[in-house]
Amino acid sequence: MAEETTATADDQNAAEVASEDKAQEADNSKPERSAESYQQELEKLRKESARYRTERNELRADAEKYREIQDAEKTELQRAQEALEAERTKANQYQVELARSKALSKYGISEENADLLGSDPEKFDDNAKRLGELQAQAAKRATPPSDYPVESLKPGASSREDAPDYSFPASWPVNGKFAQHN
């Protein structure tokens, strides 16, 4: 009996598999479409596409106007921001120049040495102090001594009126743009 139930169960499984295969084949096989059905579907899609194109074209003008308005507003805002930034830059430059001028006048530094202070307003005072000290030391120093010794120079004398000039011998000819024409 065990053999009969096993055989019957195998037959039922085989029958189920066969019926599933037939159902799958039925699902996979669609009825053939005719050329007319394709033409009808194509016409339907063309009409739908034409409707979307007309809607797009109607809304295009509105979208352009909106973009122009947005750009105009954005441009005005950008102009205002750029002008504000330019004015802030000018104000900062004037503050730096004011701090530099104060440091120059406080330590008695000449205008020609103003660029030696640097560009950082926080360091102007320290730099000006050092520069003022250097400038004062340079002013105390005497002119550099001559390269040529002066004969019979007495101590304490700075120069001699009748000392010969050895800078350029008169016997050398001078040609070119530096020549003196009489």
> In which domain, by residue range, is 74 found?
44-140
| Joined tokens for residue 151 | 């004969």
| Rounded percentage of the chain residues whose pLDDT exceeds 90 | 23
Distance in angstroms (rounded) separating the CA atoms of residues 46 and 24:
34
Domain assignment present for residue 86? The answer is yes
Q: Minimum mean pLDDT among 81-95, 105-119, 150-164: which range? A: 150-164
Q: What is the pLDDT of residues 25-42, one digit of tens each?
A: 555 556 788 989 999 999
* Number of folded domains that form the chain: 1
pTM for this predicted structure: 0.37
Domain assignment present for residue 94? The answer is yes
Domain assignment present for residue 66? The answer is yes
Domain assignment present for residue 65? The answer is yes
Domain assignment present for residue 78? The answer is yes
Domain assignment present for residue 126? The answer is yes
Domain assignment present for residue 111? The answer is yes
Give the burial class of 117: count Cβ atoms within 10 A of its Cβ; 0-12 exposed, 13-18 middle, 19 or more buried: buried
Q: Compute CA 110 distance to the chain's CA centroid, rounded to the nearest angstrom.
A: 37
How many H-runs (helices) and E-runs (strands) does the chain carry? 3, 0
Domain assignment present for residue 117? The answer is yes
